[in-house]
Amino acid sequence: MREFLVAGNWKMNGSAADSEALVSGIVEGAPAVAGYRLLVCPPFTYLASVAGLLTGSNIALGAQNVSQFESGAHTGEIAASMLKDVGCEYVIVGHSERRAMSGESSDIVAAKFLAAQAAGLIPILCVGETLQEREAGTTEKVIDEQLDAVLVAAGIDAFESAVVAYEPVWAIGTGKTAGPAQAQDVHQHIRGRLAAHKPELAEKLQILYGGSMKGDNAPGLLSMADIDGGLIGGASLKANDFLAIAAAAAQS
């Protein structure tokens, strides 16, 4: 059985005080049951203080981005080793906002995936189509290209310690969610694509859904066979909203 992973992507929101209040609320309210795990991904500047507040809890820490380079003259970038140093276990790579707004190609995303793993972090590889791509019937083609860039660079075995997040771009921050069956179709496709290389690995891989997931739609999404958790933006910014999704995972 795959464990659920419920991950909060705080994006560029909040202050030091807000992050501390948010993480404290999550630590206090998280259902203490087996079978699911929580993860929070605050902005870089709050990682250290959030790490301190997570000590002794079973909640993991992650970052939202990482440099593909190890160290050196890369002004403004953060290396994977630095994230590891501050207590991160996970890092999101290839979020659609970074692909679209920071020009990250699938090759750059693959390099980031490799850099994360080289430092002992678990990359959460985001893939997903835009509305235009869905309407043109190219969803699977787009996702295959995004997955294949990493497969070619890292090999199938690298997915042993990685997570994939299916995030339809048209559902992110829009209030539109993929329906459970619609999301399941893509999750099944992703698992199948990796299973063609190594079935037993694909069976164990966690594939998260992201895009306007909330307490009320989480039970339906999480009940699907290939949906193993969520990558949550908006609803991860209030402890109670995030905990409602955690509760759905804990009960699924």
How many residues make up the chain in this entry? Answer: 252
Catalytic residue among 97, 104, 167, 187: 167
Q: Mind spelling out the 3-state secondary structure of 143-187?
A: HHHHHHHHHHHHCHHHHHHCEEEECCHHHCCCCCCCCHHHHHHHH
Beta bridge partners of 91: 63, 123
| 20 catalytically annotated | no
Residue 22 lies near ligand PGA (rule: CB under 6 A): no
In this structure, is the dihedral angle defined by the CA atoms of residues 139, 144, 150 and 155, taken in order, positive or negative?
positive
Which of these ranges, 105-113, 138-146, 154-162, 233-241, lies near ligand PGA under the rule CB under 6 A?
A: 233-241
Select the residue interacting with ligand PGA from 80, 114, 232, 246 (CB under 6 A): 232
3-class secondary-structure state, position 244: helix
Residue 211 lies near ligand PGA (rule: CB under 6 A): yes
User: Which CB atom, from 14 or from 155, has the smaller least distance to ligand PGA?
Assistant: 14
User: Which CB atom, from 137 or from 218, has the smaller least distance to ligand PGA?
Assistant: 218
Please name the residues in contact with 69: beta carbons below 8 A apart, sequence gap of 6 or more: 77, 79, 115
Residue 231 lies near ligand PGA (rule: CB under 6 A): yes
Residue 94 lies near ligand PGA (rule: CB under 6 A): no
Residue 206 lies near ligand PGA (rule: CB under 6 A): no
| 133 catalytically annotated | no
Q: Supply the DSSP string of 32-95, one letter for each residue.
A: --SSEEEEEE--GGGHHHHHHHHTTSS-EEEES---SS-SSS-TT---HHHHHHTT--EEEES-
Min. distance of Cβ 13 from ligand PGA in angstroms?
10
Site for ligand PGA in 158-177 (CB under 6 A): 167, 172-173
User: Which CB atom, from 9 or from 184, has the smaller least distance to ligand PGA?
Assistant: 9
Residue 246 lies near ligand PGA (rule: CB under 6 A): no
- Residues of this chain that bind ligand PGA (CB under 6 A): 9, 167, 172-173, 210-213, 231-235
Which residues participate in catalysis according to the annotation? 95, 167
